[in-house]
């Protein structure tokens, strides 16, 4: 088990907190501050414990040089508004000017975008040393970046005495571990999305411990084609048919595929569609059908734990969102330990009005996928083990 921020003595010390302020922006304005709000419990805890707080994050892909459009200044303003206290903004993330801005206990300093330096993504030792020199202790609360071995997630930890998980990171690791390490049974995994290739390792790892693996989304058509079923002009990975056959052989009865499909001749909003059990030529599968929803919902209803990653259809274009929304409602039943990861799955539980009934919605799409694949996340591995 990793050290938590709750295990640290923070009074009078400067704490470096790696947060995930990689927020969506449009015309210089933050369009969703969800990630900033997700970091609030850790920031407030550090302040309450009498620490001076340094926050660090990346934003976008500035390719190693300053880009005003990817400045974290709007995040400093938003955080200040939420906390109703000043948040100082540094013009850089390293250097004498930044060092001179060291926050006193109760103060907050937000560093400028870490990725304005190429050394961040290269995990450069000297850059890591300069970041580490800013603080006494390190906390990682950016689960969404924990699968990256960068200077701010791995490199600087080697230069510091203690490195702990923040409260958000704690929560992510707690819930993802609950559903992957001896999960409450029956245990069900639901996987959707476009490509089998994106989820190969997830499927291989999950089939080791779940009781049922429900497949939806376009990736289902690669499996169905491998079984010899017609898929019309549905999205398909021809080069993965052999792999799909192998995965089905390994999974046996655990793996379930849709038995009916909502099809249309083209993908457009409000396109004329019908439900079929065999997809005709010239038509494409765009959602799971009512029979598939009923079968999947029945399996979910009997489950005690559920992992869900990826939509069941082209969720962003009605009427092809119905299968995904129905599955969201099935997962949100009381008595199920439910962990949802991935942007579309999160949108689904929100649009179905059941987000508050999900045990945990992961903040890290790529990181949660790697965790579910059984891959050790560098940003987690680097944290200090509890004694």
pLDDT of amino acid 199: 87
pLDDT of amino acid 1: 87
Give the DSSP H/E element, type plus range, for residue 307. Answer: strand 305-309
pLDDT of amino acid 183: 95
pLDDT of amino acid 260: 97
Catalytic residue among 18, 35, 78, 295: 35
Dist. CA 97–CA 108, nearest whole Å = 16
Burial class (CB in 10 A: 0-12, 13-18, 19+), 304: middle
Is 195 among the catalytic positions?
Answer: yes
**pTM given for the model:** 0.91
pLDDT of amino acid 366: 83
| Mean pLDDT of each 10-residue bin along the chain, 387 residues long | 96 98 93 95 98 98 95 98 98 97 98 98 98 98 96 96 95 94 95 86 92 96 96 94 94 96 90 94 96 98 96 91 94 95 82 92 87 93 93
Query: Which residue segments constitute the domains of the chain, with CATH numbers given?
Result: 5-170 (3.40.50.1260), 182-372 (3.40.50.1260)
Is 366 among the catalytic positions?
Answer: yes
Q: 138: which strand partners?
A: 16, 163
What is the 8-class DSSP label of residue 375?
Answer: P
Whether the CB-CB separation of 313 and 287 falls below 8 Å is answered with yes
Catalytic residue among 106, 282, 343, 353: 343
pLDDT of amino acid 121: 98
Catalytic residue among 60, 64, 366, 374: 366
Is 106 among the catalytic positions?
Answer: no
Is 61 among the catalytic positions?
Answer: no
Dist. CA 93–CA 60, nearest whole Å = 16
**Sign for the pseudo-dihedral over CA of 184, 186, 192, 197:** positive
Catalytic residue among 195, 233, 317, 329: 195
Residue 99 tokens read as 């060092």
């Amino acid at each position: 088990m990793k050290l938590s921020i709750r295990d640290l003595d923070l009074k009078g010390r400067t704490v470096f907190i790696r947060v995930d302020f990689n927020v969506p922006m449009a015309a210089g304005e933050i369009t969703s501050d969800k990630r900033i709000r997700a970091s609030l419990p850790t920031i407030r805890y550090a302040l309450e414990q009498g620490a001076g707080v340094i926050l660090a994050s990346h934003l976008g892909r500035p390719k190693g040089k300053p880009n005003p459009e990817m400045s974290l200044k709007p995040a400093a303003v938003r955080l200040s508004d939420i906390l109703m206290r000043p948040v100082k903004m540094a013009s850089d993330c390293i250097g004498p000017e930044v060092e001179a801005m060291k926050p006193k206990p109760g103060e907050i300093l937000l560093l400028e975008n870490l990725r304005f330096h190429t050394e961040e993504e290269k995990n450069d030792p000297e850059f890591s040393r300069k970041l580490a020199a800013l603080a006494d202790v390190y906390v990682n609360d950016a689960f969404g970046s924990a699968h990256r071995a960068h200077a701010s997630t791995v490199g600087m930890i080697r230069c510091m005495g203690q490195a702990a998980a923040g409260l958000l990171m704690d929560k992510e690791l707690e819930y993802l571990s609950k559903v992957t390490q001896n999960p409450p049974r029956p245990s069900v995994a639901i996987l959707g999305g476009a490509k089998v290739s994106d989820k190969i390792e997830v499927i291989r790892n999950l089939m080791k411990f779940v009781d049922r693996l429900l497949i939806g989304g376009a990736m289902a058509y690669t499996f169905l084609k491998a079984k010899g079923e017609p898929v019309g002009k549905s999205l398909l990975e021809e080069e993965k048919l052999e792999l799909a056959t192998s995965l089905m052989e390994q999974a046996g009865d655990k793996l379930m595929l849709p038995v009916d499909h909502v099809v249309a001749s083209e993908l457009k909003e409000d396109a004329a569609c019908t439900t079929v059990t065999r997809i005709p030529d010239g038509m494409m599968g765009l959602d799971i059908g009512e029979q598939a929803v009923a079968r999947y919902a029945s399996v979910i209803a009997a489950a005690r734990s559920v992992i869900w990653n990826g939509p069941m259809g082209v969720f962003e274009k009605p009427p092809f969102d119905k299968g995904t929304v129905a599955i969201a409602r099935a997962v949100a039943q009381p008595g199920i330990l439910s962990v949802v990861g991935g942007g579309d799955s999160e949108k689904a539980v929100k649009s179905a009005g059941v987000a508050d009934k999900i045990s945990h919605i992961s903040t890290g799409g790529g990181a949660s996928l790697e965790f579910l694949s059984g891959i050790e996340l560098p940003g987690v591995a680097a944290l200090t083990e509890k004694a």
